[in-house]
Every structure is written in structure tokens, then in C-alpha cells.
Structure 1
Amino acid sequence: MRLWIGLYLPQLPLEVFCPNWSSDSASVVLEQERVLALSALAGAAGVQAGMRRGGVLMLHPEARLYERSAEREAEALHAVAMALLQYTPLVAQAEESTLLIDIGASLTLFGGICALSRAVRANLRALGFTAALSCAPTARGAWLLARHGGGRTVKMASLVRRLDRLPAALLPPARPFAAWFEGIGCFSLGDMRRLPRPGLQRRCGRGLLDMLDAAHGMTPELFDWIEAPATFSAKLDLFDRVENAEALLFGAHRLLLQMTGWLCARQFAVERISLQLEHERGRVARVPTVIEIVLAEPTWRDEHLVRLLKERLAKQVLEAPVIGLCLAASQVQPMAPPSDSLFPEPGGSEQDQLRMLELLVARLGPDNVLQAAPQADYRPELANAWVPVHQQIHAAARAAQMPPNVLSLPRPTWLLIKPIALLMRNDRPFYGSPLKMTSTPERIEAGWWSESLTRDYFIAEGQDHAHYWVYRERLVGAGEDAAPRWFLHGLFG
């Protein structure tokens, strides 16, 4: 089933050039010295569309005036389209700040049209834009509904009824003939459809009939789909100098949404991203501050990346105000196929655990989140080293070098940093109570090249039935009358 979402961004000029227009005193966007778009407060002061600059300043001398830039609006619309690629690769740009999305094949994946519409609206809010959203079985029908304020219909019969009630001037080819249509009493698209087609074509051209037929599903629709580039890099110019790093999260989130759409369209997962914080340019230019995030598990979702960036920005100290952001996907790889296991892993999947570790690294720093890295050494106090969690591959390689007989022997869950010398009572080591040996000795003689050890290890049990790992130090070269010395080295769970 073909189903389309239409997104019309009516406030695009205001949201591109003055993002705070809703709370501003009065914001006006000019095109060729005439008012193109205005905020509600400017309208309350008497400013109207089409008014000249001088008239605006006469009515509201403190109004903020912005010159329209079609290039910046196109960039903003392209940024929205890139973010929407995470839902479908079929995204097209239509007339008058409108995007069309073919979501027929994505409904089951995203939980239906209602859930998908909510997700699209949430993405638009995160990007800083508002839009009229529509849904229809045809692309031109979705375009017309979106231009008229939005609406949702999934059946062709229902779409035809709704289209028949729309104004005739809503179709761009009909606008030059608006006075003629009013003169003959043709006010809606339904009235237009009842007019003789040959006469309507001679009067208004074939383009009007083609658009009308496409809206009603009578002719095929062809589009130039927006394609994701081979590499991803996106920039965002801030509207003010930002001196607090945490305030940059909103702009960084906008760039992450674009990257998410790019990753889904290219079927990539990102392993490393870099966020550049751009400072002053020109004669007082400064080198950008670079924040790099390395992921233990490649991802293509933005929620986890937002959490990581939030933690990094919270610790970042800005040496100069930030005027722009640039996000790049430094290292990517093809998406991994989903797990084919029938039952989920207890305590969360491996990806969930890696995301938790990445969040801890971002919050505490890479040198404060460590993991055990076994060493190929028989001496217990040297058989392990603590390394940063991102060195997992190197730790696994060292573990593979461990002698197999050591890996099979019982070892305590808690190894003391420094062995504790034990008292002797009745020729038995004492630790809270006399200790009884419950295992045969394990002799360790190693370290002749650096620090020689000669020990006999035992598993001992106290009267409270707790188990300890103790050793008897063998005194090489000492006389037979020398008393052995006992030490506590670990505790079993």
C-alpha cells in the first residue's frame, strides 16, 4: 500500500533567520524590501505581509528585520530531509517548503501511522521547526492537505471527499486564474473537477489537469529522491555567541538527527564521531575545539549519542565563545544484522552493557573506568593489570596467553593488595579463629628474573566457615629450625 506523509513548513523563513521569533518582541523577514513573514507580535503592531521596510519601522521602530536568503532556507529544508531518511529512503522535496515521504513500506517497522507521525513531529521539534503534517494515499494529495493545514486519510474515497472541499486556488497552476475561477463560481477543487476538461485545459494549461489527476491517483507520480552523500559532515551556525558548553547540546542534537538519517539511508553504523566547536573567525580566529567520541559498539541511533555528548559537554571548558558547530562521522562500518537469538540476554544485551560503559567513560573519563586484563604471570599480585575499558582487544589477547592450568585452579574473588601476616597459635595460622587447611598445597615458584617468589598456597577454613586463600612462605637457604611464616592473600566469596 502506498501511503505518503506531507510536511509543510509555513514558518520556515522565521525559524531559519530568527529562531526565537515566538518570544521575540517583533521579528520580520524581508524579501526585496517587502515583508515576507512576520511574528505574531509584529502582526499585533500592525505589520502586514507585503509592507515595505519603512512602514514596518514606522509602526514598530524596535522590530528585528532579517533579509531572506533562499540558500539558507534550502539548507534548512535539506537538513530536515536528511533527518527523515531514518524512516524511509524515499524522501522528496516539493514546492513551497514542502517535503513528501513515502512511508508505505515503513508502517509495520515503526508501529503504524500514528506512531510514525508522532516520531516525525518529535524530530521536527528537536530540529527547531514546526510543520503541518498530512497523510494520504497519493503524494499530491498529501501535499494539498499539508498546504491546507494538515489532515490524515488512508482511503482513496475519503481523500477524494476531502480534496473536493479544498479551495481551488490551493493548486499553484490555478492561482494566476483565481479571478476567472471566482467569476464562474468555481471555489473548490470539487467544482474544478466538474468543469469540462478540454475547455479547462485550453484556458489554464495541461499542468493544472496533471496536478489534479495526480492528487486523485489517476496518473503516476515521479520524484527526484533526496540521496544521502557518501560521507557525512554537517555544520550549524549559531545565532549568538555561546559561552556555556552545555547550551550547545540543542544544536548538537540537530546535527545528530541529520547524521542518524544519513546512517540509516547508507546502512551504516558509526564508531567514531567528532564535534568541532568553532570560535571567532578572521583576524581573531582561534583553532576549533574538537570533541571526539569513540564507541565500543557501533550505533546508528541518536539517543545514546545525545547522552554521551551531554556528559562530554558538561565537563568541557570553553576557552572562547562558540559561534558554530560541525559534526562529522569519522569512522563508520556496515550495519550489523539483528540478533537471531530467541530469548534476550539476562540483565540486558551486550549492546546495552557497552552503552552503559560508554556513558560512564563520558562522565568519569577514560582513565577512571577500568577493566581487568590478565597477564601471563604465575605470581598472583602480578597476574592482572587494570587498563581502560576501551582496550578490550588487548586485554583479551593477554588473557589468551595465560597458562591453561592456572585458569582451571580455584582463585579467590577478593585478592588483597598486600598480603597480611598471620599470627600462629598452637602451630596453626590464626585469623579471627584457627584456620584449618582444606586443600592440598599449590606451589608457586616464579619471578626469578625480577622478584623471586617461593610459596605454598592453601585454601583454609575458619570456625565461621569462611574460606581464605593463605600461603606459607618457603625460606630458601634457611635452617630446618626456622619457623614458617603464613600470610593471608585473598578471600573467597
Structure 2
Amino acid sequence: MPVVLAQAGRHGPVVYAVSVAAQARGISEGARIVDVQAIHPDLHVEQADAPGDRKLLDRVAHWARRWCPWTVRDGADGIVMDVTGADHLFGGEAAMLRDIGTRFQMQGLTARLAMAPTRGAAQMLARFGAGRVICDTEDLEMCLAPLPVAALRIGADTDRLLQRLGLKTLGALMQVPRVALMRRFDRLAEEINPLVLLDRALGRTADPLNAPADARHWLARVRLPEPVIDPLPHLEALAQDLCVQLAEAEQGARQLRLTIYRVDGEWRSRDVATASASRDPAHLLRLLAGKLDGIDPGFGFDLLTLEALRVEPLALQQDHLEGRRDAQRDVAALLDRLTARLGPDKITWSAWVQSHLPERVEHALPALGHVAGQAPVLDRARPLRLLDPPEEIAVLYAVPEGPPARFRWRRVAYLTRRHEGPERIAPEWWRDRPGTRLRDYYKVEVGDGRRFWIYREGILGDGRGGDPRWFMQGIFA
């Protein structure tokens, strides 16, 4: 069955990638899905995951550093490796290419391989060459000459222009005087200028490989001479070792993983997280100790590892000279311990969002996803206690265009002594449904001195329902 991956296009879904069976039928990338399905009714279409493909290619690029120390992702479907001085470790260039192809096949990946003196030449030969190619410096121009000009990856417009000029191959482009072409392409950017790209491929100008550094792993391990059952006595040494590594790099841990490796070949792990970056061994030890319940050591384990899965910058700083405690750090430590004991969904922290409606201002989030110590600026004109949802009150007597003179809430009648308002809040048209009524808020003081925050939903004659309704929103301290 032919299979293709689809992604969104300007005029509907288009083909993103094709299987071998689909390619054999002549289906190519960029074709419209509806057109292809009309010709091939048995075509199977799946949605493409371009971000996932890029992440996989980044992982494969780092995995490819088994052959050389400099590798980088090349576009959406390639990897460039600078193997200068490394091929002799595998028995020569031909043996290295065979090993690369074999190991990619073992991973279930099909690879087109090429080796050339320059980065651009290797890219073009891998994509447009015939099979596995090894090109020497002396044969560089001869190897590149039969390739189409599209191998330069110059873009559709420049490619179309060269085709109209009769320059269909790189060999034909090399034969044209450079002065004439430079006047035509001097305004193009270097990334799509065919002459600049050709010079890089032929080694006339530098084209260095800017490979990212390897991701650093923060890991502490303890190897035991004989199997043990209880990991608790060894946690302190693990926490101390890991925190020393983090302190040297001025980093703090946000997520940790403790793993025990049993003698029967199995392993068990426990994860903990922190509300803010930390490298306090005592604090991390308390979090880990609470996660050991229920872990199965089997017949014993002889290896423990503690890894910082996620870190954040945490500068070295001196504690207060007067011995004063850091309140923000204490709150973060408390959140960590409660979350480790009760679970991440049980401990929440208030997040504040922009909204006109009072009940939408506060939003609960897991405490570990919030930076402890950041509090909102409270509006003194609002009550400290809000009712969610607001409770409807029964109006016994209302002043025209004013608050109710008498109302009943929770089976108790109240007489309004003083009031302030109204404060009108219109519906949020970008969120509320059509027909939502506006609100008029009042601060009222009743006979016993208590102050309430009430509002009238709607006004007479607004065309959005019947009579207005009254609600109790909050209570002032």
C-alpha cells in the first residue's frame, strides 16, 4: 500500500514525504493530496509531524558522533559530519562509509552517503549522486559536473532562471565566465547565490562546520562491592556529589531522577522536582527520602545513580551576614516537600491573568510550575474574599438605577445603609458568548457593619433577556 505524509499547504494539504511504494507510483513531494488521491484511491495518508522529525534528526546527529566529534543537522533530512582525521580509526574512508550505512540500517533508517573534501560537495553528492560516493580533491570538479544546478539549493526562482539560460548542470555553470554571472547575481544573498555556493563546494572559499557542543549530563553514581537492599544510607553521598558538580557550573537542579540497578538486570527509578533551582544537598535528600516507599530492590542492587534531568542557572551568592532566612527559599522548599508527599496535582499556586471579570483573574497551576515568592499587586478596591461562582440574591426593594435597598442572601434579609457605585464591567466580547449581559458593581454596607460586593447583571431594555438579576460577588474584611 502506498503511504504518504501530509502537511498544510497554500491550497490544501500537500505531500510531505512518500514511502517506497508511493515513490514507485510516481508520487512526489509537494503534490496536492486531493490530486494524488484521485489518481490512487488506495493511497493511505497520515499527518506529518515536522517538529518531531527535527527532534529525531537532532538526536541522530548527536548519536552520529560515534564516528567523529563534529556533527550537525543539515536541513530537514540530512546530517553533516566532519570526519577529518577520523577515517583511519575505522579502516579507511570506504570502511567508514560501510559502517555508517550498516548502523543506520540497524536503526531502521535508510541513508544516502557521500564523502567529499568540502561540506557543500558532500551535501550535493549525497542528495543527487549515484549511490555511495567517495570523491577526492583531484576529482572534485569531475564529480560535481553532472549534478543539476538544483543541487546547490538556490531556490525555485534562481533555479528557473538558470534553466532558461541553458545552465542545467554544475559543469555548464563552471564553464560560463564569472564576470557575466556575477553582474546578474550580485544582489542575491549568499545563502542562494549560485556562484558563492559553487565556490564553497569547490573549496575556493571557507565553509566551516559549526557543530553544537554535546549536552552535558549531570550525573552522580555510587558502585557497591556487594548487593544491598536499602538505598537510604547512600543518598547523602549522591546528593553531595551532584551538588558539587552543579555548584562548579553555577547551576541548580529542577528535576532529579534516582535510579537503582538490581543484580537481576532490572532497574527502578523515582523522579522528584523542585519549585525553584536548588543545589542544597539536605533539601534534595529530604525529597528523595520520601520517594523510596514502594521501590522494589529485588535481591539487592549494586549501583545507584542520581541525575539532574533539568537544570537552571543559579549563581553563587553569599548568605545574609545577620543570619536572616530567605523567605522565598523557604516557601520553595515547603512546596517541594508537600508536592513530593501529596503529588503535583494536589499542591497548586495562584497564577494571575488579565481579565475584566473578577472570577477569571485567578487561575490555579501546579506549584512546581510557578516561581515561588512572586505575589500579585492587590487592588485595595476589591474584596479579599470572592465567591466562585457568585451567589444569586433576592431583591426585596430596589432603588431605581441604584443598589437594592433590601435584599436576602442565604435566607437572611439585609438593609442597605450605605453604598458606593456603580462600577460597570462590560462583557469580554473575545471570550464571552453573544448575548452576555454587562454588570454594574456596588459596594454596600448593611445594618450590622458588614460590607458586601454585589452586582446587577443586565439592565432593563438591553434586549438581552428579561429582568436584571442580582448576585453576591465578594465580602470585604
Task: Give the alignment's TM-score, normalised by structure 1.
Answer: 0.43
Tell me which protein shows more helix as a share of its residues: 1
Task: Give the alignment's TM-score, normalised by structure 2.
Answer: 0.44
Higher relative contact order (CA 8 A, sep 6+): 1
